[in-house]
């Protein structure tokens, strides 16, 4: 990632810089989930994910069920890399 203007990075560029949970932890990036239905936002516990699934686990392109009781929605993972213009959807 040699470009100076981080606002010109695409989601693919960020995915390449942090492809796995272990790499995201090493980069010290914030990851959170947001429900598409109820809009609940929760910070993802990356250390727990790495412990349970392994540091090679990939969050990119994944979705899971909402953790709010009774909500049938699905959550999307979002990452906030240092220097990014905004949050990046991990779709």
**In tens digits, what is the pLDDT along the chain, a chain of 91 residues?**
555 666 678 889 999 999 999 999 999 999 999 999 999 999 999 999 999 999 999 999 999 999 999 999 999 999 999 888 889 999 8
Rounded CA separation 50/2 (Å): 28
CB atoms within 10 A of CB 38: 14
75 within some domain: yes
Question: In 3-89, at which residue ranges do the beta strands (DSSP E only) sit?
Answer: 30-35, 41-43, 63-65, 74-80, 88-89
Q: What is the largest CA-CA distance in the chain?
A: 45
Domain limits for position 14:
6-89
1 within some domain: no
* Residue spans of alpha helices (H) in 34-88: 46-53
Q: Please give the tally of structural domains in the chain.
A: 1
So what's the pLDDT on residue 84? Answer: 83
């Amino acid at each position: 990632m040699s470009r100076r203007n981080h606002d010109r990075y695409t989601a693919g560029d960020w995915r390449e810089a942090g492809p796995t949970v272990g790499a995201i932890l090493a980069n010290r990036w914030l990851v959170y989930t947001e429900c598409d239905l109820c809009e609940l936002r929760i910070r993802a516990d990356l250390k727990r994910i790495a412990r349970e699934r392994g540091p090679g686990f990939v969050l990119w392109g994944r979705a899971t069920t909402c953790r709010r009781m009774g909500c049938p929605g699905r959550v999307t993972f979002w990452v906030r890399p240092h220097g990014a213009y905004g949050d990046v959807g991990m779709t």
